[in-house]
Each structure stands twice: as C-alpha cells, then as structure tokens.
Chains A and B, each alone.
Chain A
Amino acid sequence: MPFDASVTMRGLTFRSPLLTGSGTFGYGDEFLSVMDYAPLGGIVTKSLSIRPREGNPPPRICETPGGGVINSIGLANPGVEAFLKTKVKSLPVGTTRIFLSIVGDTVEEFTAVLEKLETIPEIDGYELNVSCPNVKKGGLSIGGDQVAVAEIVRACRGLTKRFLAVKLTPHHPSVPPLAEAAAKAGADALTMTNTLVAMMIDAEKRRPMLGTVTGGYSGPPLKPVALAKVWQASQAVDLPIWASGGISDGLDGIEFLMAGASGLQLGSILFADPYAPARILREMEAWCDRHGVARLADLIGSLRT
C-alpha cells in the first residue's frame, strides 16, 4: 500500500503534517529557489501587525553551545497595509496551504489585521501569535493571561470562517487552562509552543550577546520542552495541535505525532537546512515502513502510557 502522509484537521486536508514555523520563513517566497515546497502541508508566515514594526536593535541572533539559537527580532514587519500593497503577491499561492500569522497588543489590533487579511482570497487561515517573547507590550503578557487569549480568539473567530490556529506561550504555569480557554473561544488548532525566554553572555566583553539582552530560544535543544507542551495540550483539549520546537529530523516528527501533534512546524532548522522538509518526510516514511504504518495520521496521539 502506498504511504499516506496526509492529515486532516477540522475538515481541512494537508498533504503532510509539515508546516513552517512563523518568523523563520518570511512571507513564503524567500526560500523558493532553494527549497522543495512539495513536502509541505502548509506554511505559516512571519507575524503581521496593524502598524509597521522596525524590530529590535542588533545583534538579533546568537547560537548556544547546545546546538540551538536565541533570537530577538522583535516582530519586524511592514504592517498589514504595506503587506497588502507589496508583499501579498509574493505569497507562494498554489504551492501549499498558506496561513498568515497575526500579532497585536490588543484585541482590536488582532481583529483589525484579520479583517484586512480576509480580503485575500487565496489563503487558508491564520495563526494568532499571542506569545512572542520579544516585544514589550502584548506578546508574553497577553499570552500568559488566559482571559485575554480567549478574548482575542473569540473576537477573531467571529470575523472568519477560515482555519484559526493559536500559538501559545511555553511560559504559562499550566497548559490545560490556557489550551481550554483558546479551544472554548473557537480555535481550530493550538500551536505548542513559542520560543523560551533565554540569554547568552559574552564574558570577554562583559556584554549580552543580544541587543535586547534576552531573546527567544529555539532549535533542537527545545524538543523535550515542546514535546511536553504538545502532550499536555493534546490531553487537555480535543483540537489538532501544531508542534513547534526543535523538530530537525524524521524521528522528531514521529515522536511529536505520537505525543498528539497533527501538524509539525519546522522553524530554525530551515536556517541550517532548507532540504529539511523533503528529508524529514522521507525519514518519517522510512520509519513507518519499518514499523508497518501505512498512514502517518495513524500515529497521532498513539503514545502508549
């Protein structure tokens, strides 16, 4: 029997669980000449805000000795109006499903961006970023407040019939209440999880390695944390979970599916390896072959506990 990599979430079929992680993939066209998009079930763009954001002072990225990275981009983006005028035509329409990430400081900012994006016919849905660690207002402070998260999700839900994912913070002390709040408010999927607040120091210079001192930690070292968040969310709510955190090979993907993920976001790994989507899909297929699994979707939530 041919291998079936497709997954269906809330009536929407994806040709594979592989997605791109917001912030690592621009607006979808930057990687076109170096990456095969065919293995991707969808892409999630960099977050869009109501006004342009120039982003944080550099340096904005540093590596960690454990094979990870810390970033402090600060949601740099042209703002939704400029996006609609100039960048929207660069969306890779027709290559894969497209989800636009939205960020804001208030409920009204989220809904204002979403309303403008509703005018684009070719997109499949949204991911609400209520958890960025690199902005002073909004971001973590909203994302840690389940009442605020529910308000944002409910308001956006009222404005769109499209697929609505919500990216939650890893810093809330307990996943279930936050996940339940987002689910009750009408989310179609939960993304678990955003980057962890972290920092690095250059002792020789006695200076932080990022312009904002702290940033968001991502890459392979994050995987055990993200696995736990995915598992906890999948136990708490009956919604598809998009895993985000340290996925770098096929075995990671298999493990996240077992933990309850239906979507697998590839983020920082794309910086190192734009061949990753095809490679990871191949590696997952090989694992399934060895274990007599014909449908990748059969692995979702299959962890034996």
Chain B
Amino acid sequence: MNRPIAEIGIVRHAFEVSANLWDLTVEAPQIAPVTRAGQFVHVRVTDNHHPFLRRPLSVGPVAGKSLRLIFNIRGEGTRLLAAKRPGDALDLIGPLGTGFAQPNPARTSLLVGGGIGVVPLQLLDDQLPANAPRRFLLGMRSQSTSPLTLEEIEDRRIDVASDDGSLGFKGNVAALLEQVLGGTDTASLDIYTCGPGAMLSAVKRISLGAGIPAFASLEVPMGCGLGACQSCAVPRADGEGYYLVCHDGPVFDARSVILEPEVLP
C-alpha cells in the first residue's frame, strides 16, 4: 500500500450528471497517478467544522494528473462539495485504503455497480488490461438518477438495470446478475462490486450460491481515514473482531466480512 499523500487539489470541472448527482474533475498531480481502483480520497469539505469530518470518496476515472469524484448530495458535506467550482481548492488525503487486487486477465471480470457504487468500478475497468475479458453491470432507480451519462454507459458497454425500466433491464441489478449468470460458465468469473448495503448483500448471496469469488467495496462512517482512530470497523465473518474499512478495505473478499443487512443462501 502506498503512503497517504496530503495534497491541495484544484477543481477543474464540475457538472451535475443528474438530479443531486455531481461529477468533479480534480487536478491532484501527486495523488491521481498512483491511485489504484477501489482506493479513496478523504476530502475536507469545509474548514469551519460544519460538518466536522472529511468525506471518504471513491476515486473514479483518472486521466493524467486529474481524478474524478462522483457523488450524490446526501447531506451538508456533499452539498458543500457540490458547490465547488473550477479553480476552487480541495484539501485531499489519498490514495487511501486497500483497493481491488489486480484482476487476473485470464479470467472474466464481472463488474457489478449499484448507483454511485459504479465510481470505483470505472477506474477498475480502466485499469484492467485492454484485452482482459469483462462484463459491466450497473443498477439504478431510474434513468433520471443515472450516475453516468448515456455516452459513458455506451463507451464502457455497460448493461443497465433500472427499477422502473426506464433504461435497460427492468428490475434491480441483482436480478440482472442472476440472469447473466444463468447463461454463463461461472468457473472463470470473478465479481467486483460496489453499491448500497442491501445490493452488496444480494450480490454476496448470489456469488456464494454460484461459487464465484466476489470482492466488495464498502462504505461506512469514518474518522481519520488513516487507520489511527478505528472508527470504521466492519465485523469479520470469522468472528475474530473487526476489520478497518480505511486500512484493510474498503475492498474486501465478500466472504470475509459481515455485511449489513446480511441475508445468506
């Protein structure tokens, strides 16, 4: 794991992808080039303590010395972040945590994103060798809440599932995953996933049932992001206490952690 870097980035581009969903391109020449898919940056949204903590955000696509942060406005912290405009400084610490292990290019990578959980999977998609076989699934409530533009969805050849059927498969991404697995030889598959807790739990259940290795990126409330405060604990499946999401994760072998809510086969 590389050493965390403290860097003041510069926002170069900011746009609202869909309602309350923002995409910031941040120039961070020290952090961006050394970030591995699944790692995150800890972002200070304000210096007046309201809100107090940094916000951990998965790093999206990286281009040269810039990285992209894509997030929903969920509270005051992300609202302040969405108000950043080109030229604004952004206090970052990163890259943090343990990301996705480099996929085996001889196997097929199945990327399964839910909503904003697509963000680290975009970088994983970019960091896979060009000829490595892959399939990319993305779930969303509706086309109007898509975390990606239609152009990006097409460029990455993403299969979309939407709850209301407004784009792609009608239903949730777990149902789409089951459909995809139905016609596939699962022996050479690895699943890489990120999304809401219920979705991760469903993907874990499906992967365990089908005997497919699955690696999930988790999101939990976090303090320092550096492994010092131990706020971001996730229970270990072996009962031996807790892992730290900021240090041992955010990406875990799905079998090694207890997800909330956990519904196993």
List the interface of chain A (C-beta within 8 A of B). 23-26, 30-35, 46, 54-69, 71, 73, 76, 219-220, 248, 268, 270-275
- Is A24 a contact partner of B224 (Cβ separation < 8 A)? yes
Q: Which of B51, B223, B228, B240 interacts with A61 by CB under 8 Å?
A: B223
Within 8 Å CB of A268, what residues of B? 52, 223
Task: Name the CB-closest residue of B to A210.
Answer: B221
Known: A34-B93, A60-B233. A67 touches B242 (CB 8 A): no
User: Which of B38-72 touch A at CB < 8 Å?
Assistant: 44, 47-54
Within 8 Å CB of B220, what residues of A? 58-59
- Is B49 a contact partner of A272 (Cβ separation < 8 A)? yes
Within 8 Å CB of B17, what residues of A? none
- Is B4 a contact partner of A33 (Cβ separation < 8 A)? yes
Task: Name the CB-closest residue of A to B227.
Answer: A30
How many angstroms from the CA of A270 to the CA of B224 in the assembled complex? 7
How many angstroms from the CA of A162 to the CA of B233 in the assembled complex? 34
- Is B52 a contact partner of A272 (Cβ separation < 8 A)? yes
How many angstroms from the CA of A61 to the CA of B5 in the assembled complex? 24
Does B230 interact with chain A (Cβ within 8 Å)?
yes
How many angstroms from the CA of A33 to the CA of B240 in the assembled complex? 30
Task: Name the CB-closest residue of A to B244.
Answer: A76
Least CB distance from B124 to A in Å reads 25
How many angstroms from the CA of A275 to the CA of B222 in the assembled complex? 19
Known: A24-B224, A31-B226, A271-B223. A55 touches B233 (CB 8 A): yes
**Max chain B CB contacts within 10 Å: which of A30, A62, A271?**
A271
Q: Which of A55, A60, A63 interacts with B241 by CB under 8 Å?
A: A55
Extra contacts besides A30-B226, A31-B228 (17): CB < 8 Å: A25-B228, A26-B229, A55-B230, A56-B233, A57-B233, A60-B233, A61-B223, A63-B52, A66-B50, A67-B48, A67-B49, A76-B230, A76-B233, A76-B241, A220-B52, A268-B52, A272-B52
Known: A71-B223, A76-B230. A274 touches B52 (CB 8 A): no
Within 8 Å CB of B223, what residues of A? 24, 61, 69, 71, 268, 271
Least CB distance from A212 to B in Å reads 12
- Is A248 a contact partner of B49 (Cβ separation < 8 A)? yes
Task: Name the CB-closest residue of A to B75.
Answer: A63
Least CB distance from A301 to B in Å reads 28
Q: Which of A26, A30, A68 interacts with B52 by CB under 8 Å?
A: A68
Give per-residue flags for B225-254: 1 if the beta carbon is below 8 A from chain A beta carbons, else 0: 111111111110000111000000000000
- Is A58 a contact partner of B3 (Cβ separation < 8 A)? no
Within 8 Å CB of A25, what residues of B? 228
How many angstroms from the CA of A271 to the CA of B45 in the assembled complex? 13
Least CB distance from A67 to B in Å reads 4
What would 19 A/B residue contacts be, using CB atoms closer than 8 Å? A24-B223, A24-B229, A31-B228, A33-B3, A33-B4, A46-B228, A54-B240, A54-B241, A55-B242, A58-B221, A60-B232, A67-B52, A69-B223, A71-B223, A71-B229, A76-B230, A219-B52, A220-B49, A271-B223
How many angstroms from the CA of A12 to the CA of B47 in the assembled complex? 34
Within 8 Å CB of B180, what residues of A? none
List the interface of chain B (C-beta within 8 A of A). 3-6, 44, 47-54, 93, 220-235, 240-242
Least CB distance from B45 to A in Å reads 9
Least CB distance from A226 to B in Å reads 15
How many angstroms from the CA of A67 to the CA of B45 in the assembled complex? 13
Within 8 Å CB of A32, what residues of B? 3
Q: Which of A23, A26, A55, A59 interacts with B226 by CB under 8 Å?
A: A26
Known: A59-B220, A220-B49, A272-B44. A34 touches B6 (CB 8 A): yes
Within 8 Å CB of B241, what residues of A? 54-55, 76
Task: Name the CB-closest residue of A to B246.
Answer: A30
Within 8 Å CB of B221, what residues of A? 58-62
How many angstroms from the CA of A66 to the CA of B51 in the assembled complex? 8
- Is B4 a contact partner of A219 (Cβ separation < 8 A)? no
How many angstroms from the CA of A100 to the CA of B53 in the assembled complex? 26
Q: Which of A30, A63, A248 interacts with B53 by CB under 8 Å?
A: A63
Within 8 Å CB of B6, what residues of A? 33-35, 274-275
How many angstroms from the CA of A35 to the CA of B93 in the assembled complex? 11
Least CB distance from A64 to B in Å reads 8
How many angstroms from the CA of A270 to the CA of B44 in the assembled complex? 12
Least CB distance from B95 to A in Å reads 12
Q: Which of A31, A62, A272 interacts with B54 by CB under 8 Å?
A: A272
**Max chain A CB contacts within 10 Å: which of B4, B49, B220, B240?**
B49
- Is A76 a contact partner of B52 (Cβ separation < 8 A)? no
How many angstroms from the CA of A25 to the CA of B230 in the assembled complex? 10
Within 8 Å CB of B222, what residues of A? 61
Q: Which of A35, A58, A71, A76 interacts with B234 by CB under 8 Å?
A: A58
Within 8 Å CB of A58, what residues of B? 220-221, 232-235, 242
- Is B230 a contact partner of A271 (Cβ separation < 8 A)? no
